[in-house]
Amino acid sequence: MKEMTAKEVEALINEVKLLNIIDVREVDEVAEGKIPGAINIPLGLVEFRMHELDKSKEYIIVCRSGGRSARATQFLEDQGHKVINMQGGMLSWEGKIE
């Protein structure tokens, strides 16, 4: 499983890289703040919404601490998606939130 730190993701955003970020936290968690541009797909819905993801694109998967995103990353990788787990999740995030 490919992984990235929150600092690495923030650096890419600051370089104005177009990133595809999926936040797998629950709706109420995301309401408290998320990485700008991140799409919320709660972990329990990933299996049912993965058809919305383009297999030609790479996605960075985020959660609160890195556990749920690791599970989502492994699942999506097993389905043929290009995914990267953000280590430490939003607890490690020091960048902008929306």
Cα of first residue to Cα of last residue in the chain, in angstroms, is 28
One of 63, 70, 76, 84 is an active-site residue; which one? 63
Helices and strands of the chain, counted as H and E runs:
5, 5
- pLDDT tens profile 22-58: 999 999 999 999 999 999 999 999 999 999 999 999 9
The pTM (predicted TM-score) of the whole model is 0.96
Tokens of 27: 């709706």
Respond yes or no: is residue 63 known to be catalytic: yes
